[in-house]
A and B are shown apart, each in its own frame.
Chain A
């Protein structure tokens, strides 16, 4: 236990110092997570709404697939995107591998199913009278959908929060697609993995505390909007 306590104390001291490496890792983590969540929401929210509202053949199967995608291992996503972005891959000429953009692409693939599933659950749990009410008041399909989204906005926000949580906490995609390049693609999670493997447990713990704090701050920020 002494080891843990002393490491924790050392970690708090390191946070106080805030080395440029730590600041870079925090910045990269927040940037790639925020952008990936944004894209994840862009694709995931409409997908969840459509899956929840539309009737189509094999809908149950499609929902099962979407549920399964929530549990998609990050390294599998990393592997898949790596295949596309590597030099021999179909998108290799774009030169995106080992860049923050590559992490964003992988993060989007991780966040979108989570956001879609939460949005789907929100639509299914929504009051069944919302759409007929909007339609009978003369709203067109798009306005009626807007009204529905407005009414389930807390569920949608929860979807976005969950998507962000998934992206900022993952390590597989960031490691495989970002390459953990210091000052460029090193995120908090890859830095934790690296520092701990080097025996710098306290430094890893410091980053872990920062990671948790960032997640807490983002959630508090979104919670503030929920309350309004």
Chain B
């Protein structure tokens, strides 16, 4: 199985505070990982790094064996392979369709192909009739489903999920769990932040534990088979 991420000596600071201090971490392709840890452990920061939204203060990240360069548009290219879904996702003004189509438009996908992908993505989260609805008028659960559809539409190599199952109704939670569980079989690597042990039980996967910015156990690479 291919190694999709490898992190070396990653340190990340906000001002004087070190929020991440990871000696090494390897993530295999097509697997599901549960990222856990107390509030402030550095989970969201790690996801932002893995999503190539911010460079680490020091250290290096390898993506599919290639060292990530943070300049010259390299991170921008990689961001098209990795999608981060925030805990409280932001939906742009406009319709649900506009939102799901946003990333496709950024990739130059247009016309009937774009329509087809949007329909398929909305269908995956049981919102096939929501395309014309105004995004800002949706409930919390519907918003989370649209955000998931928006991410699925891009068929990312890696899907980073920052507590997508928190604060939503049970029906939506079950639906999203089913969607998430199906992704590794399609080759998508999933890193899911969750605090709920039930989610971890139902969604079979490996566990990465962060404690005060460090991987537990410390200074070790997770085995990649």
A193 interface residue per 8 A CB criterion: no
State which residues 78-104 of B face A: CB under 8 Å: 79-80, 82-84, 86, 88-90, 92-93, 102-103
Chain A residues lying within 8 Å of B48, measured Cβ to Cβ, are: 132
* Chain A min CB distance to B204 (Å): 26
Instruction: Verify B102–A139 contact, CB threshold 8 A.
Output: yes
* Chain A min CB distance to B157 (Å): 12
Chain B residues lying within 8 Å of A139, measured Cβ to Cβ, are: 102-103, 106
Instruction: Verify B106–A132 contact, CB threshold 8 A.
Output: no
State which residues 159-186 of A face B: CB under 8 Å: none
Complex Cα–Cα for A143 and B92 (A): 13
* Chain B min CB distance to A111 (Å): 27
Instruction: Specify which of B76, B86, B102 is in contact with A129 (CB 8 Å cutoff).
Output: B86
State which residues 125-142 of A face B: CB under 8 Å: 127, 129-130, 132-141
Nearest B residue to A128 by beta-carbon distance?
B90
Chief secondary structure at chain B's binding surface: loop
Interface size class of A (residues with CB under 8 A): 10 to 19
- Given contacts A129-B86, A143-B106, is CB(A136)–CB(B79) below 8 Å? yes
Instruction: Verify B51–A136 contact, CB threshold 8 A.
Output: yes
Nearest A residue to B150 by beta-carbon distance?
A137
Instruction: Specify which of B80, B90, B154 is in contact with A133 (CB 8 Å cutoff).
Output: B90
- Given contacts A129-B86, A132-B86, is CB(A137)–CB(B93) below 8 Å? no
A24 interface residue per 8 A CB criterion: no
Instruction: Verify A138–B80 contact, CB threshold 8 A.
Output: yes
Instruction: Verify A136–B92 contact, CB threshold 8 A.
Output: no
- Given contacts A134-B102, A139-B102, A140-B76, is CB(A151)–CB(B92) below 8 Å? yes
Chain B residues lying within 8 Å of A127, measured Cβ to Cβ, are: 90
* Chain B min CB distance to A146 (Å): 10
Chain B residues lying within 8 Å of A143, measured Cβ to Cβ, are: 106
Interface centre among B53, B80, B83, B90 (most CB of A within 10 A): B90
Instruction: Verify A138–B90 contact, CB threshold 8 A.
Output: no
* Chain A min CB distance to B185 (Å): 23
A147 interface residue per 8 A CB criterion: yes
Chain B residues lying within 8 Å of A134, measured Cβ to Cβ, are: 102
The 10 residue pairs across chains A and B that have the minimum distance between CB atoms: A137-B103, A129-B90, A138-B80, A136-B84, A138-B106, A139-B106, A133-B90, A138-B103, A136-B51, A137-B102
The residues of A with any CB-CB pair to B shorter than 8 Å are 127, 129-130, 132-141, 143, 147, 150-151
What would 30 A/B residue contacts be, using CB atoms closer than 8 Å? A129-B86, A129-B89, A129-B90, A130-B90, A130-B92, A132-B48, A132-B53, A132-B86, A133-B90, A134-B102, A135-B53, A135-B79, A136-B51, A136-B82, A136-B83, A137-B83, A137-B102, A137-B151, A138-B79, A138-B103, A138-B154, A139-B102, A139-B106, A140-B106, A141-B76, A143-B106, A147-B92, A147-B102, A150-B93, A151-B92
